[in-house]
Structure formats: structure tokens, C-alpha cells
């Protein structure tokens, strides 16, 4: 009996050893040899990724498909998502939450180290990225988000917080950040090296201005829905500049330059690392809405962002029948190529002179054209056509990097226009609306390198301040070039600029209001996703699109419900 007991003890001991060995082996198998160990990772090496990935996310949206929604650009190859809002029933958000997880890690380390500068910086980034997500979708996982390491299974299926609660918490975090970032440089001892901060070089003053400028953005976002809250917040900041400094000059912009050393750290339309032989650059053309709007104002920024047509079109009566030829011609003292066409040639193509655009300088693609690669007598009908008769992007956008190629997350121009709108439209703050309006234009000109042309520009009758929301928002729309996402959020709130979809060509005849919830959420966290979608306000266009339910780009999220905007 004793022998049996002894054997049993030995067997049990071996079992424990085997289990321990297996557990350790499984843990080693589950450990990513290429990943960072949260226990030992250096937060100062994690935070730069938060900044750069956020910058890339902003550009991918604001220079990508949302640029098509807001009619800055159109595509003449692979057009559906860009020109027609065909997002196929799903818009993923995993990249944004990945940024937030890394940011939370740095914040937790900053709290443990009593690093107030890093705490303030990470609170600003948290507010920026969570703000983007709720602006895009509506109700979102917030309180239960970023807790995937918890043993509580409920965090695997996070509840969606009400959009109002999200905004309220973001504004509280930005208030806290303003306090944390209020000291002088020498009063901080941070683990964030200046050279790793691609926004402000770890200068607390820059981050503090960013915190308060973001707060202005969110208060204005709430201005139609919660006007008393918005007024109190905006006046608190604008009327107390010493306590709440904001961006006032282009040098204050939250802008990230691109390194240009690889495909992942370069401007997205660059041709240096484009395996598709430059098609990412070629298939984006200027939109007629934006081009004509700027031409009407004689806006010199158009020449910074767009290229002139390579070959002008000119229908010329009196030419011999069937004449269609290209000739070098001096136009306004400039050597240009002109394609001369006899009127009868147009008739053979089944079009009239009114169907083509003969502007000698800039020609944009009309919105959501069927077959846009054929527009304006293009001789190239391929999917990434080399159409010489429409305006391409300026050649700077072929570059991997450059002084103007920046992710612009929020700018002094935007802040000045917010203040101008608050005063001119709503009568809030002690600011001067006219001065703020002109400051918005001036800081945009400064940022894009055309400062010397500002004085002549504001003499134009269409630019002279007229104290209307439409004028302020039109100028803000122009200044938001490459940051179309913010222009989209402004459009939803105000209805300006006055742009629409195209009946029969875009998914719905009006612009969308939000993103679909991700399909992954619909499949894995379906109960909470459906509860959030049920709170969206169904509109007459909610049945359009791939989903065909309340989770539609044309359903109103909380911040738009009851406002009557934008359509």
C-alpha cells in the first residue's frame, strides 16, 4: 500500500511538472518574437508610432475617398468608393483602435512615472483618435474599449457608448491636458525625447495649443445639438487666451511631414515606391466643383494643388472638315499645347461644344461621371488613364516627401474659422469675426507658401468679408484641402458648401453622413452593434447602399438628430 501511495505521489509530481512544462511551452509559443513585450517595452519608442500612424490615418481619409465625397478630387480609374460612396456595407476601424491601444500603454507608463508631459500628450492623442471614431460612426465602444487584456469576458464584446458621453469625456480629457501641459519646458522631465515627437518636438506649449484647439473643434461640433454647452466651452477658451492658448499661426499647425524613405512612411500618391507604375497618382484628378469654386475667387492656392491641363482643347469653326490636331501655341505669353478641333468632329462623337471644357488652365472632373476616363475627349480610355485634357494633381504629389506634403490634423486656419463662425453666426465670444475670418485665410496661405499673394486675394469681391456662415464655411472648405474629413464633418453640421450627390450616379443623391459599422463588429459583437445601429435616425436615404438598414451612411447619428442638417 505504501509503495502504491509513493508511486501515486511520484505520478502526481510528474503530472505537475509536465503541466508546468506544457504551460511554459505554450506561453513561449504564444509569445511573438517580433513583437514588443508590454512588461519591458520602452514607451518612448511606442509613442512615435502613435503619432505617425495617426498622421497616416488622417491622410488616408482626408486625401483618399473622403476627398471624393467633399468634391475636392475625383478618380477616373477604380472610382466607386471615391466618386460614388460605394463602401460595400463596411468601414473598418481596427487601425484606429490599434493606435489607441498603443497610446493607452504609453499613458499608463506616464502615470506610473509621474510624467506629466507624456500624460498630457497621450490624453490629447486619445481625444483626437476617439473623436475621429465617434465623428465617423456615431456611438462607439469607449468605456469598455482598450481593455482586451482584462480577464472579464465582457470587454471582449464591448458595449457602445452614447456619442454624447464620448464627446463629454473627450472634452474632460482635453481640459485635464491643458492643465498638465501648462508648465514651462524646463519643469518637465519626460521619457519622450524631443526628436521622436514628429508634431511639436515635445514642446508642451505646442501640445497645449493642440489640446485647446481640439476642444474648440468638438464644442463647435456640438453647437447645433447642445448650443448652451458649446457656447460655454467656446467662450471659456476664446475669451481666456492666457489660460487656454490655441493655434493662431501656421507654425502652430498639428502637421506631420513624411520621411519618404520607404513605402510606409511616404506620401500615399508617391511614384517612387508605387509598384503600379504611378497609377495611384494618375487616377486621381481634380474635381470640377472645387476647381470652379477656386477659379471664381481667383484663388492662387489652386496652382499649388493642381496641375494645368497638359493639352488645351479648342473648338475652332472654320477649320477644314474633320480637323483634329495638336499644335504648340503661345497663350498669354506661355508656350502651350492646344488641340484644335473642328465642330463636325464633335458631331461624329455624338457630343456638342457644351459637353466639353475648354478652360485653358484648369479642368476638373464632374462628380460621379459614368466612364470618367473618357471625359473631355480623352485619347486614353484605360483604367488609370493619362488624360491630358483634365487637371491632374500638382507634381508635388508624386513625391515621397516634401515641404508641403504633410498630414494636417488640425490647423490654425481651422481654429480661426471656428472663432469667426462662433462670433458672426452665433454672437458668441468677444472675438472680432472679421479679423478671425481673414486670419483663417492668411494662415492657410502661409501654410501653403503663397503668403505674398494674400493681399491681392482678399481684395476680390467674393472674398471680402460679408458676415455669413456660407462664406466662412466655403473658405474653411478650401483651407481643408487634403483634410477632407474635417470638411465633411463641417458639411454635415452646416450644409456648406452647397454640394450634392448626382441622382443615378452616386449611391444616393445626397452626401453620406457617417460610416458603416465594421462588418467584423456585425459578426462578432452583433448584439451591441445592432443596439447602436437601432439608435440611428433613419432618413429617406437610409435604404441606399449595401446594408439597407439603420446602419446606413445616410442615417443620422446623435449629433445630427433634430438639427435638420445638412439635408
Q: Taking each helix axis as running N to C, give the angle between helix 412-426 and helix 204-221, from 0 to 180 degrees, rounded to the nearest 10.
A: 40
Residue at grid coordinates 477659379 = 295
d(CA 485, CA 497): 14
DSSP characters over 245-314:
----SGGG-EEEE---SSGGGS-TT-SSS-TTTTHHHHTEEEBHHHHHHHHHTT-TTHHHHBPPPSEEEE
Domains in the chain (CATH in brackets) are 50-79+90-249 (1.25.40.390), 308-392 (no CATH)
pLDDT of residue 33: 52
Instruction: Kindly report the backbone phi and psi dihedral angles of residue 556, in degrees, each rounded to the nearest multiple of 5, phi listed first.
Output: -90, 125
How many other CB atoms are found less than 10 A from the CB of residue 104?
A: 17
Q: How far apart are CA 510 and CA 551, in angstroms?
A: 17
What integer pLDDT is reported at residue 333 of this predicted model?
Answer: 87
Residue 421 reports pLDDT greater than 90: yes
Write out pLDDT tens, residues 121-135.
999 999 999 999 999
* Per-residue pLDDT tens over the stretch 22-81: 444 444 444 555 455 667 789 999 999 999 999 999 999 999 999 999 999 999 999 999
For residue 36, what pLDDT is reported? 57
Chain position carrying cell 513585450? 37
CA atoms within 13 A on the CB side of 265: 12
pLDDT at position 150: 63
One-character DSSP codes across 176-194: HHHHHT-S-GGG---SS-G
**Cβ pair 174, 210 in contact under 8 A:** no
* End-to-end CA separation in angstroms for the chain: 87
Torsion angles phi and psi, residue 84, rounded to 5: -120, 0
Q: Residue 358's Cα: distance from chain center in Å?
A: 33
Cis bond leading into 566, ω under 30°? yes
**How many degrees, rounded to 5, is the angle at CA 228 between CA 121 and CA 176?**
20
Q: Do 435 and 426 contact (CB within 8 A), yes or no?
A: no
Q: For 335-356, what is each residue's pLDDT tens digit?
A: 999 999 999 999 999 999 999 9
Classify residue 393 by its DSSP letter: B
Q: Residue 1: pLDDT above 70? A: no
Helix, strand, coil percentages in the chain from 3-state DSSP, rounded to 5: 50, 10, 45
- pLDDT (average), residues 415-430: 98
What is the CA 396 to chain-centroid distance, rounded?
20
Kindly state the cell numbers that stand for 556: 443620422
Whole-angstrom distance, CA of residue 473 vs CA of residue 480: 10
Instruction: Let me know if 150 is exposed, middle or buried by CB neighbors in 10 A (0-12, 13-18, 19+).
Output: exposed
pLDDT in tens, 471-484: 999 999 999 999 99
Amino acid at each position: 500500500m505504501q509503495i502504491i501511495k509513493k508511486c501515486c505521489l511520484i505520478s502526481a509530481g510528474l503530472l505537475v511538472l509536465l503541466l508546468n512544462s506544457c504551460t511554459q511551452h505554450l506561453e513561449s509559443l504564444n509569445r511573438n518574437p517580433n513583437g514588443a513585450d508590454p512588461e519591458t517595452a520602452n514607451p518612448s519608442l511606442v509613442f512615435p508610432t502613435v503619432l505617425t500612424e495617426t498622421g497616416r490615418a488622417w491622410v488616408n481619409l482626408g486625401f483618399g475617398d473622403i476627398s471624393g465625397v467633399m468634391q475636392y478630387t475625383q478618380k477616373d480609374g477604380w472610382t466607386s468608393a471615391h466618386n460614388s460612396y460605394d463602401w460595400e456595407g463596411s468601414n473598418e476601424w481596427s487601425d484606429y483602435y490599434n493606435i489607441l491601444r498603443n497610446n493607452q500603454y504609453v499613458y499608463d507608463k506616464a502615470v506610473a512615472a509621474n510624467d506629466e508631459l507624456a500624460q498630457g500628450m497621450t490624453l490629447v492623442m486619445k481625444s483626437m483618435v476617439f473623436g475621429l471614431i465617434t465623428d465617423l460612426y456615431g456611438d462607439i465602444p469607449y468605456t469598455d474599449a482598450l481593455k482586451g487584456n482584462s480577464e472579464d469576458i465582457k470587454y471582449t464584446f464591448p458595449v457602445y457608448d452614447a456619442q454624447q458621453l464620448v464627446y463629454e469625456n473627450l472634452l474632460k480629457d482635453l481640459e485635464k491636458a491643458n492643465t498638465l501641459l501648462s508648465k514651462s519646458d524646463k519643469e518637465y522631465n519626460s521619457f519622450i525625447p524631443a526628436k521622436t515627437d514628429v508634431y511639436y518636438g515635445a514642446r508642451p506649449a505646442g501640445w497645449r495649443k493642440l489640446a485647446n484647439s481640439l476642444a474648440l473643434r468638438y464644442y463647435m461640433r456640438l453647437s447645433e445639438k447642445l448650443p448652451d454647452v458649446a457656447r460655454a466651452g467656446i467662450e471659456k477658451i476664446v475669451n481666456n487666451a492666457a489660460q487656454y492658448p490655441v493655434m493662431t499661426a501656421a507654425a502652430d499647425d498639428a502637421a506631420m511631414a513624411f520621411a519618404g524613405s520607404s513605402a510606409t512612411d511616404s506620401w500615399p500618391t508617391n511614384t517612387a515606391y508605387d509598384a503600379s507604375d504611378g497609377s495611384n497618382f494618375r487616377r486621381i484628378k481634380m474635381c470640377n466643383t472645387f476647381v470652379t469654386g477656386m477659379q471664381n475667387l481667383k484663388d492662387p492656392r489652386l496652382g499649388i494643388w493642381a496641375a494645368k491641363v497638359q493639352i488645351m482643347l479648342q473648338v475652332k469653326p472654320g477649320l477644314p472638315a474633320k480637323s483634329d490636331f495638336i499644335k504648340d501655341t503661345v497663350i498669354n505669353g506661355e508656350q502651350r499645347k492646344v488641340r484644335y478641333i473642328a465642330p463636325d468632329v464633335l458631331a461624329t462623337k455624338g457630343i456638342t461644344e457644351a459637353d466639353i471644357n475648354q478652360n485653358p488652365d484648369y479642368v476638373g472632373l464632374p462628380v460621379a461621371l459614368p466612364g470618367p476616363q473618357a471625359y473631355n475627349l480623352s485619347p486614353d480610355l484605360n483604367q488609370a488613364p493619362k488624360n491630358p485634357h483634365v487637371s491632374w494633381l500638382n507634381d508635388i504629389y508624386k513625391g515621397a516627401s516634401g515641404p508641403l506634403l504633410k498630414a494636417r490634423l488640425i490647423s490654425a486656419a481651422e481654429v480661426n474659422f471656428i472663432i469667426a463662425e462662433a462670433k458672426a453666426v452665433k454672437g458668441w465670444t468677444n472675438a472680432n469675426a472679421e479679423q478671425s475670418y481673414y486670419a483663417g485665410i492668411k494662415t492657410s496661405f502661409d501654410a501653403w507658401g503663397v503668403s505674398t499673394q494674400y493681399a491681392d486675394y482678399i481684395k476680390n469681391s467674393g472674398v471680402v468679408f460679408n458676415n455669413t456662415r456660407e462664406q466662412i464655411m466655403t473658405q474653411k472648405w478650401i483651407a481643408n484641402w487634403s483634410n477632407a474629413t474635417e470638411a465633411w464633418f463641417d458639411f454635415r453640421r452646416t450644409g456648406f458648401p452647397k454640394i450634392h450627390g448626382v441622382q443615378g450616379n452616386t449611391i444616393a443623391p445626397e452626401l453620406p453622413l457617417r460610416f458603416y459599422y465594421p462588418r467584423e463588429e456585425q459578426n462578432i459583437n452583433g448584439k451591441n452593434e445592432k443596439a447602436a445601429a437601432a439608435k440611428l435616425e433613419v432618413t429617406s436615404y437610409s435604404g441606399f447602399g449595401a446594408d439597407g438598414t439603420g446602419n446606413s451612411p445616410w442615417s443620422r447619428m446623435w449629433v445630427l438628430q433634430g438639427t435638420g442638417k445638412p439635408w
